[in-house]
Amino acid sequence: MDIVFIRGLRIETTIGIHDWEKRIRRPIDLDLEMRSDVARGAATDRIEDALDYEVITRRLTRFVSESRFELVETLAERCAAILMDDFGIRWVRLSLSKPGAIGEGVDVGVVIERGDRTPG
């Protein structure tokens, strides 16, 4: 199994359970690992035959920046669903963190895995 990854994707959004959090925008950080067979793209050297991380990044950035959720868990689930539904990704590990959520220098978040990790 090959993995394409995107790390350190920072997106401004509105997220949180407290009233004050619902009135501000703050960054969230996304790290993604996505199962992909890179052999075809490597053989042709054409982006059409590969997982286009630029397109994925733009899609997630648009979704997250326009969204409003209370829980990081909900946002993580929705991002994973976009990756699987819109891009046909069969397995994803997604880490979503909310920097400074409970104090300066303290990140909180979730790591989820969705889909089938086995080749086939």
**Catalytic, out of 30, 98, 109, 114:** 98
- Per-residue HEC secondary structure of the chain comes to CCEEEEEEEEEEEEECCCCCHHHCCEEEEEEEEEECCCHHHHHHCCHHHCCCHHHHHHHHHHHHHHCEECCHHHHHHHHHHHHHHHHCCCEEEEEEEEECCCCCCCEEEEEEEEECCCCC
Known active-site residue 22: no
The set of catalytic residues is 98
